[in-house]
Structure 1
Amino acid sequence: MARTDYYNDPHAPAANSVVPSTTAVVTDSHDRIVLIRRRDNNLWALPGGAMELGESIVDAAVREVKEETGLDVEISGLIGVYTNPRHVMAYADGEVRQQFSLCFTTRLLGGQLRVDSESTDIAWTSPGELASLDVHPSMRLRIQHYLQRRDSPYLG
């Protein structure tokens, strides 16, 4: 489903829902980060998505990484809590979702990279390559917080 991200945009539509969601930073032995190019907005992003009924937020993160990347991970830490009310996602069906996302660090257990129905590309990306990619500001913020190796999670 088509999606438009509004980030600190005074012309953004008003939110009409909040859905707990996750993103995850998955790294390899070379400290490269796996990114997917999202089909709905054509931007590079961390894997992640909405929590489903009956699962924990940690289970949601593990499931979303597997679905979107083909990789098996376990959650190893929390990068931050992202709840900016000025970041909304408008979907073609009329839902306008306020951001509510927890971003986790992971430990790679196995699997093989593969593109799923929600993405058009997937890549291991070194920190030096990030500046040249079309990445949504909210994803860039999460990656920046990961790269800072903060002592405590971001709360915002």
Structure 2
Amino acid sequence: MRWTPHATVACIIEQDGRFLLVEEMASGQRVLNQPAGHLEQGESFIDAARRETLEETGWLVEPEALLGLYTYYAPSNGVTYHRFCYIARALEQVDGAKLDDGIIGPIWLTREEIEDRRPELRSELVTRCIDDYLRGVRYPLDFIQETA
């Protein structure tokens, strides 16, 4: 059997000192995560980041920089995830947007509020990515070269 990592995207969206997160159900538990999900066949990473954020939060966003590529092994399911995390600007909330199954809804929290809810975080990547963002880590969008 060949080992295959899962390619995912996520977005860090900060506005007025608060970060856009998603409350969702995972393995029967209510958890907090960045808007995130799997890359679909034929989709660019940036398009996937826009799509996943809309599907999970109802917000249109525009990626402005790459925060980084994070590798995470999930002990709960034995899967290794390669997360391409973007920094995005919130454009507008779409009225009546239909959210993905399992999504409770979007929530804006400060870094301190996120820390207070640490037991609810889907993974350690939630705070790791936010902390990298707060430290000023940024890469240009063209750091990842994609072909059509």
Alignment TM class, shorter chain as reference: 0.7 to 0.9
Question: When you count helix as a share of all residues, which structure comes out higher?
Answer: 2
Q: 1:12 matched to which residue of 2?
A: none
> 5+ residue gaps in structure 1?
1-14
Within the alignment, does 1:31 sit opposite 2:17 as a pair? yes
Q: Which runs of at least 4 in structure 1 moved beyond 6 Å after TM superposition?
A: none
Question: 56, 81, 84: which one pairs with 1:99?
Answer: 81
> 5+ residue gaps in structure 2?
141-148
**1:3-152 counterparts in 2 under 5 A?**
16-28=3-15, 30-41=16-27, 42-84=30-72, 87-88=73-74, 90=76, 96-112=78-94, 116-133=100-117, 134-135=120-121, 136-150=123-137
User: Normalized against structure 1, the TM-score is what?
Assistant: 0.74
- SS of 2:21's equivalent in the other structure is strand
Q: 2:146 matched to which residue of 1?
A: none
Report the alpha carbon displacement of residue 112 of structure 1 after superposing the two structures with TM: 4.2
Letter in structure 1 aligned against 2:136: R
User: Normalized against structure 2, the TM-score is what?
Assistant: 0.78
Letter in structure 1 aligned against 2:91: L
Letter in structure 2 aligned against 1:47: P
How many equivalent pairs are there?
Answer: 132
- Of the structure 1 ranges 125-134 and 144-153, higher mean CA displacement relative to structure 2 is found in 144-153
Identity %: 25
Report the alpha carbon displacement of residue 152 of structure 1 after superposing the two structures with TM: 5.4
